[in-house]
């Protein structure tokens, strides 16, 4: 369980406008541009939009909050057999879908503590840095790091988290160690082909659980702000992005229906265009702890909330056990290239993959396709998740449950 307080508690991250131009010259790869990322040289510069000739379709997978409560940390210690912490067995059930995608995005909700600990769960999280290696082993390429817990251990927590993700080879978006880092879009390659699409990953949170950012670091965490997000998306496009993905940490905890802020911001962001082309191609949401709907808004897919991919046995705001806190979905979208240079990449196939995290065993269990048909409880869980995901008419726009 996390605590929802102080909306707007940190100042919005710096815009990318100036940085987009600065990134076009020959430079060394900056921190945070790991995974299947682009360098900051000529390959990552331009007007975006992809070349119609030779451009390849790609599949993107995104998943919900990774939220290591104390029980999750204890489970990882057991799985490590006395050698630190091993989170890989927890994520094994998601590995096939994650590693099978051309590009995979996670949400790292908590910050990391010092190597060797101490580590803490709710309310101020400090997770073992071994989480990063497990995410990479599972197949993730980039993680959003903007959440209400991003400042649980101040600037040191951000630094340790991003350092560990860098070491693991995972890109990140949403928090930063320097102003320059905050001003660079995370540009990723969707696959290994030379002509693979360029994808920008941006991330923002509604607020944090502390009163403000670290002294002198207003850029430390990206904040939800329509104008900032649009400006960053446009700058990422100028830096070469064919597809712009925004991870938004938003919504009301334990509420399956998107709240008014989510609905209003989704409308505003998907309505924003440049030259007749949407500035943002996909919105993926986290924070509510329960699955929320997928919906096409102004022609753009919005995943209001994916739920918690990893979390301990959850308790809601009334103190009652809340099994929905261990239910989630993974989003899988197949993007097709435009028919003309500078056109929009379109979603050719939209899928959701129901998941359940077994808090007793500490394992992610995939419920996609017919995997849960012969198991009453798992089938009920799968069908409940599916009902929520499809509750805003996604099926009419082609959304299906994936295998």
For 83, other C-beta atoms within 10 Å of its C-beta total 9
Q: If you average pLDDT over every residue of the chain, what do you get?
A: 88
Query: So what's the pLDDT on residue 18?
Result: 32
Task: Give the chain's largest Cα–Cα span.
Answer: 58
Query: So what's the pLDDT on residue 285?
Result: 98
135 pLDDT higher than 60: yes
74 token code pair: 């204890």
7 pLDDT higher than 50: no
| Domains contained in the chain, CATH given | 17-401 (3.60.21.10)
373 pLDDT higher than 90: no
Name residue, tokens 């959440």. 147
Query: So what's the pLDDT on residue 38?
Result: 56
Closest CA to 36 of 141, 136, 147, 181: 141
Lowest mean pLDDT among 26-30, 233-237, 308-312, 327-331: 26-30
Sign of CA dihedral 396, 105, 41, 236: positive
368 pLDDT higher than 90: no
75 pLDDT higher than 50: yes
For the residues 369-387, what does the mean pLDDT come to?
A: 88
226 pLDDT higher than 60: yes
């Amino acid at each position: 369980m996390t605590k929802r307080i102080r909306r707007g508690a940190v100042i919005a991250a710096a815009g990318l406008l100036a940085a987009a131009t600065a990134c076009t010259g020959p430079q060394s790869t900056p921190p945070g541009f790991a995974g299947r990322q682009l360098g900051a040289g000529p390959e990552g510069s331009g007007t975006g939009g992809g070349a119609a000739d030779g451009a390849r379709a790609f599949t993107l997978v995104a998943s919900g909050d990774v939220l290591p409560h104390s029980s999750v940390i204890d489970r990882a210690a057991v799985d490590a057999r006395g050698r630190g912490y091993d989170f890989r067995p927890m994520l094994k059930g998601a590995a096939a879908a994650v590693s099978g995608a051309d590009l995979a995005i996670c949400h790292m909700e908590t910050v990391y503590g010092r190597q060797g600990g101490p580590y803490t769960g709710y309310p101020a999280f400090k997770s073992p840095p071994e989480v990063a290696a497990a995410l990479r082993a599972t197949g993730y390429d980039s993680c959003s790091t903007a959440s209400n817990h991003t400042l649980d251990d101040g600037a040191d927590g951000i630094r340790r988290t991003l350092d560990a993700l860098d070491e693991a080879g995972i890109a990140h978006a949403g928090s930063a160690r320097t102003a320059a880092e905050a001003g660079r879009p995370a540009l990723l390659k969707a696959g290994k082909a030379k002509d693979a699409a360029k994808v920008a990953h941006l991330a923002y949170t509604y607020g944090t659980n502390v009163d403000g950012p670290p002294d002198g670091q207003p850029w430390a965490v990206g904040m939800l702000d329509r104008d900032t997000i649009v400006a960053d998306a446009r700058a990422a496009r100028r830096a070469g992005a064919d597809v712009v993905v925004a991870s938004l940490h938003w919504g009301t905890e334990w509420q399956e229906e998107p709240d008014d802020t989510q609905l209003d911001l989704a409308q505003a962001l998907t309505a924003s265009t440049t030259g007749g082309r949407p500035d943002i191609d996909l919105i993926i949401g986290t924070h509510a702890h329960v699955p929320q709907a997928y919906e096409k808004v102004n022609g753009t897919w919005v995943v209001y909330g994916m739920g918690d991919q990893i979390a301990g046995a959850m308790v809601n705001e009334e103190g009652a056990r809340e099994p929905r806190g261990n239910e989630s979905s993974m989003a899988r979208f197949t993007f097709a290239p435009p028919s003309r240079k500078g056109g929009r990449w379109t979603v050719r196939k939209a899928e959701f993959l129901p998941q359940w995290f077994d808090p007793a065993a500490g394992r992610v269990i995939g419920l996609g396709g017919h995997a849960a048909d012969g198991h009453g409880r798992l089938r009920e869980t799968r069908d409940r998740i599916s009902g929520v995901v499809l509750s805003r008419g996604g099926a009419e726009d082609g959304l299906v449950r994936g295998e």
